[in-house]
Structure formats: structure tokens, C-alpha cells
């Protein structure tokens, strides 16, 4: 008989956020990356990545507009 592989729980929302931020800045560890690919749902990481990208662009626009007003 084949044994079922041990089901690992999905990463928490906090771990997803930290993984997305680390990946965006290029400092994601291999261990965390492997955890994300093996236990995480792709849709969660895609959504978190899109939200991060939108917030990042809004932040840059805000900083630029503040600097240009000064």
C-alpha cells in the first residue's frame, strides 16, 4: 500500500505577506520558497503580490508628489 504524504498546513497570512515582500526585494530564502511552493495556494500568493505591487506604486507616486511640492 502507498502511504499518503503528510499534508502540511497552508502558510498563515503573515507568512504569505513576508514571503511576498521578501520575494519582491529578492531576499527570499530557498527554504521559505520551497515551503511556499509545496504548501501554499498559488491564488493567495498572486493576490498578495498584486496588492503589494499596487501599494508599492501608490507609495512611490505619493513620495514623488510630496518631493515635487516642496
Residue 48: C-alpha distances to residues 51, 54, 61 (Å) = 5, 10, 20
Per-residue pLDDT for 70 more than 80? no
pLDDT tens column, 27-66: 988 998 888 888 878 899 999 999 999 999 999 999 999 9
pLDDT tens column, 4-18: 445 568 888 898 999
pTM value is: 0.74
Radius of gyration of the chain (CA): 17
Per-residue pLDDT for 69 more than 80? yes
Amino acid at each position: 500500500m502507498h502511504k499518503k504524504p503528510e499534508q502540511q498546513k497552508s502558510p498563515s497570512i503573515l507568512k504569505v505577506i513576508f514571503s511576498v515582500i521578501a520575494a519582491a526585494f529578492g531576499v527570499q530564502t530557498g527554504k521559505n520558497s520551497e515551503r511556499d511552493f509545496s504548501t501554499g495556494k498559488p491564488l493567495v500568493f498572486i493576490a498578495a503580490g498584486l496588492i503589494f505591487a499596487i501599494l508599492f506604486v501608490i507609495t512611490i507616486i505619493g513620495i514623488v508628489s510630496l518631493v515635487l511640492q516642496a
